[in-house]
Structure 1
Amino acid sequence: MIQNSINDHFQRSKALLGEEFIDKLHNSRAMIFGIGGVGSYALEAVARADVGNIIIVDNDVVAPSNINRQLIALSSNIGESKVDVALRRVKDINPDADVKAIKAFYLPDSPVEIPDNVNIVLDCIDTVSAKLHIMETCAKKNIALISCMGMGNRYNPQLIKIGKLNKTSGDPLCKVLRRETKKRGISNITVVYSTEEAAKPGLIVDGKPSPASLPYVPSVGGLYMAYMACEALGGRQDILNFIPKKEGAL
């Protein structure tokens, strides 16, 4: 039986997963791109799982329209930088965590550096060109990657799946990325995606079509990403076919 202090933040996790598993998480480094509807929940879960080193990247500020689905968004912090809000939240959850906040949009012509010592990247952004560049970078550096596909315009969280990009169906974003990664010779990419056909709600923001979203779809996608990240970082053998080991190729 595991003996833990009542003040141990992670005693309930250790009781289920064991000290060795939690130690691996504590000594791991994760990098999360995008702290929105998906990324805010992924960040919350990896922080509460005791992933000890986290880099968060986002250049947006909290807006009123974020409140329906983004964990960090509150009426009290509208207008604040998302990464600043997220950093404070993670440090409040786990004061021992080493958290770095980067205020930036990831774009191919001005990419945020992915350090070589990062163990896993969680891609929670929307831009196709940026997602492809992250995939290419992780492949070149042999860094494990989980990429989230489209979660907007969908109702049913039960239709969210975890799998390989080349085996996906039902998501237009997956179709584009399958084609583009094949051109680039990138394979074995783990994704979180929905098999639900996207609705067309006709939401217009600033004169442009914008995806609608609900609180319980992107959140589940983010938690799935955190689950896969922690299972990989902890070295669970039953899921290593989903995410390559550090020394393996994507």
Structure 2
Amino acid sequence: GCMTCVGNSGELQKQATDALGDNPASGPVLAGVLSGNRNFEARVHPLVAANYLASPPLVVAFALAGSVDKDLTTEPIGVSTKTGDDVYLRDLWPTPEEIRKVEAGAVEPERVRDLYEQALQGDDQWKALPAPTGELFQYDPESSYIQPPPFLDGVQLEVPETKGDFKLEGVRCLLKFGDSITTDHISPVSRIPADSHSGRYLQSLGVDAKDFGSYGTRRGNAEVMVR
């Protein structure tokens, strides 16, 4: 499943949280560099407000630099502990030939093809999972992950016949926003804090904090998301 892109990569270093002080809103802006697919505020961690997407080598480079304020094309990443000389990104960046050499020794095309050919079959653990049959999904009332949403109450399986033109009346805008709004502000995906309303709700169901998962994995339970 997801890791860094939904905040499951662990806690921040103490020096980062100490820099924020008691009021993160008025402290410095913490920034992250990741090779995921979202750069939303607070996605990788609730306290990380600015996020930048980059290739894995650049993620390592900025981690070594320790700041996104550096221009890695002109400023050194650090200093060599052996020579004392400045170390630049150009000193570390591999050449295309070096990359091809590593790929040739690590990537086995046949193995990749074999894995993808069997991807939809699943392994023995997947095949051993109980899978109920039938046209309709059978909800487990004890599940904290998937529950029937309340807006489905009263919905019929058969589509009712309509006479004449179908009209939508009394429809209102659900949400209207200005700038700097992401889908995470509307429906979060990041990890669930233990002291949040959703976290306390899951604890009331007997779910340990280590098993909270993320809002993304709990989307199937409206009781978690409305909190």
TM-score by length of 2: 0.22
Highest RCO, 1 vs 2 (Cα 8 Å, sep ≥ 6): 1
Structure number with greater Rg is: 2
Structure with more strand by fraction: 1
Structure with more helix by fraction: 1
